[in-house]
Structure 1
C-alpha cells in the first residue's frame, strides 16, 4: 500500500465529502471575523474544496477528467446527493456547469514561510447551507461505503490512487451506537485499489468546547476528555507516510507520526487546510 500513483486521466481518483446538516448546525461560530452558523461555514468550506479541486484539474485552459466527486448531506431529511439528483459521483469537468452562484470572498492562504496571505477571489457555490432534524451518520456512511465500493470495483480504477472520504460533523450519530459506527467506518477503510485503502478523515466541529483545536491527531493527543471525539479518532484512517510532511506543515510543528485522519475543535481555516491535503499531496500529471 504505497499511495504513490499519480492522478492522470488514465488513473483517476475519487473524493467524497459527507456533510452533517442536522439541526444543531444552526449554532453559530466565529468565521473570518464574523459570527455565522456552522451550516454556512461548512458550506463555504465545501465550496472552497470544490473550487480547489476544479482549479487543480485545469491544464492549459482545459478541465481534465482527473477525478470523480460526490458530496452528500445527512440530516432529518435523510441522506441525499448535493451535486446531482441523477448520479452521486460527478466528474470534475461537470462542476463547471453545476455552479449555483458566484460571489467575491477573502481567502487566507499560507505562504512558504508560514505567514498568512489574504486574497480576494471569486468563490463558486455548489452547496447551500442547511440544518434540520437528527444526525443519521450511520446511514450516511453506509451510503458512502456503497459509493466507494462501486467506484473501486470498476476495472479501470484498479491501479488508481484510492478514494478519499471527508466526514464533517458536530454531533453524535442518532441512528447507531459506537460499535455500529466503528464497523461501518472499518468497512469503508477496507475498500481501496491496488495503490492503497480508502482514506477516511473525520472532522469534528465542536464550538463552545474548551479543548484546544487539534489537526491530524497522534495517539498521545487523543487522550483528552471527550468520548465522542475519541470515537471519531478511533474510526479515522492512519495517514500514509506520503502525507506526513504536508501534515507537519499544516500543524506548524515537528510532531512525529503516525497521524490519524482526525481533526478536533479546529478553526475553519485549519479545516479548509485539512480538506486540501489530499489534492495538494498527490501528484497530478
Structure 2
C-alpha cells in the first residue's frame, strides 16, 4: 500500500481546499513581516504549485504526473475553483502552460556568513488572497469527495498513488456540526485506488499565540488544546510509512510514528512543511 511511484501512466492528484472566510483577513507574522492569513496562504499555495510544476519538469518539458485542483470555500456557502477560468481540475502540464500574473515574492536567503536576509523575486500568482463570508467546510469536503470519486473510478487511475487533499483553514465549519464533518471526512478518506485510500491532511493556520501547537501528532502525544483540534484529528488520515522520514525530519528524531495528517495552531513554517511533506515525499519516475 502507498508504494506506487508517480509516472505518466500512474499519475496522482492533489486537491487544495482553502478557507477564504472573513477571518482570513486577520494578520500574522511570516518571516518577520505582517500579512493577512489570506495573503500568507495564497503565497504558500502559489509556492507549492510552482514546486509541483518544477518537480514534473524534464528535458522534454513538464510531464503530466498529476492533476491539481485549488478551491476556495467562503462567502455565502460557496465553493469555487481559484484556477484561471474556474477550471475544476487541471493537469500539471496545462497548469504550467497558463499565462498568469506575476507577483513580487519575499523569500528568506542565507548569506555566506550564515546570516539570513529577505529578498524580493518575481513569481507566478495562480491564486490571489481571499477573505469574506462564512466557512462552508462541509460543502468543500463533500464536493472534493465527488470530484475524487470520479477520478479514482477512471480505469487509468486504478493502480495510481491515491490523491492527497489539503484542507487549510483557520476556523470552524459554519455549515455543519461536528458529527457531520467527521462523516464527510470519513467518506472522502474512504475513496481509494488499488494503492491505498485518499489522504486528507487538515491544516489549521493561526497567529501562533501561547497555545500548544499540534503538528503531525503521533499516538504518544496525548491531549489537544481544544475541541476543534480533537475534531481535526478525527477527520484526518493516518500518514503512510512513506512519509515517516520526512515527518521525523520536521518534528525531530525523537518523534515516533504512526503520525496523523493534521495540525492545530500551525505556524507559517509548519504550514509550508506540511504541504511539502504531503506533496513531495512520493517517488516520481
Instruction: Tell me if both proteins adopt one fold, taking TM over 0.5 as the criterion.
Output: yes
Q: CA RMSD in A?
A: 2.1
Corresponding residue of 1:59? 58
- C-alpha distance in 2 between matches for 1:37 and 1:86: 24
Contact 1:166–1:201 (Cα < 8 Å) also in 2: yes
Moved more, 194-203 or 270-279: 270-279
SS at 2:15's partner residue?
A: strand
Contact 1:66–1:92 (Cα < 8 Å) also in 2: yes
Residues 116-155 of structure 1 mapped to structure 2, 5 A cutoff: 121-155=121-155
Residues 75-154 of structure 1 mapped to structure 2, 5 A cutoff: 75-77=74-76, 78-85=78-85, 87-108=87-108, 121-154=121-154
* Post-superposition CA distance 1:162-219 (Å, at most 9, x none): 0000000011100000000000000010001000000000001132642233321123
Corresponding residue of 2:5? 6
Q: CA deviation at 1:278?
A: 2.9
Are 2:72 and 1:73 equivalent residues in the alignment?
yes
- C-alpha distance in 1 between matches for 2:26 and 2:260: 27
Gaps of 5+ in 1: none
Structure 1 residues 109 and 169 mapped into 2: Cα distance closer, same or farther (>3 Å)? Answer: farther
Corresponding residue of 1:21? 20
Structure 1 residues 281 and 208 mapped into 2: Cα distance closer, same or farther (>3 Å)? Answer: closer
Corresponding residue of 1:245? 245
**TM-score (normalizing by structure 1):** 0.92
Contact 1:108–1:269 (Cα < 8 Å) also in 2: no
State how many pairs are aligned.
280
Structure 1 residues 58 and 109 mapped into 2: Cα distance closer, same or farther (>3 Å)? Answer: farther
Gaps of 5+ in 2: none
Q: CA deviation at 1:228?
A: 0.6
Contact 2:7–2:65 (Cα < 8 Å) also in 1: yes
Contact 1:222–1:233 (Cα < 8 Å) also in 2: no
Moved more, 261-270 or 81-90: 81-90
Structure 1 residues 256 and 94 mapped into 2: Cα distance closer, same or farther (>3 Å)? Answer: same
Q: CA deviation at 1:86?
A: 5.2
- C-alpha distance in 1 between matches for 2:13 and 2:129: 23
SS at 1:272's partner residue?
A: helix
**TM-score (normalizing by structure 2):** 0.92
Contact 1:20–1:135 (Cα < 8 Å) also in 2: yes
SS at 1:265's partner residue?
A: strand
Contact 1:13–1:162 (Cα < 8 Å) also in 2: yes
Q: CA deviation at 1:120?
A: 6.2
Q: CA deviation at 1:282?
A: 0.6
- C-alpha distance in 2 between matches for 1:119 and 1:155: 46
Contact 2:208–2:267 (Cα < 8 Å) also in 1: no
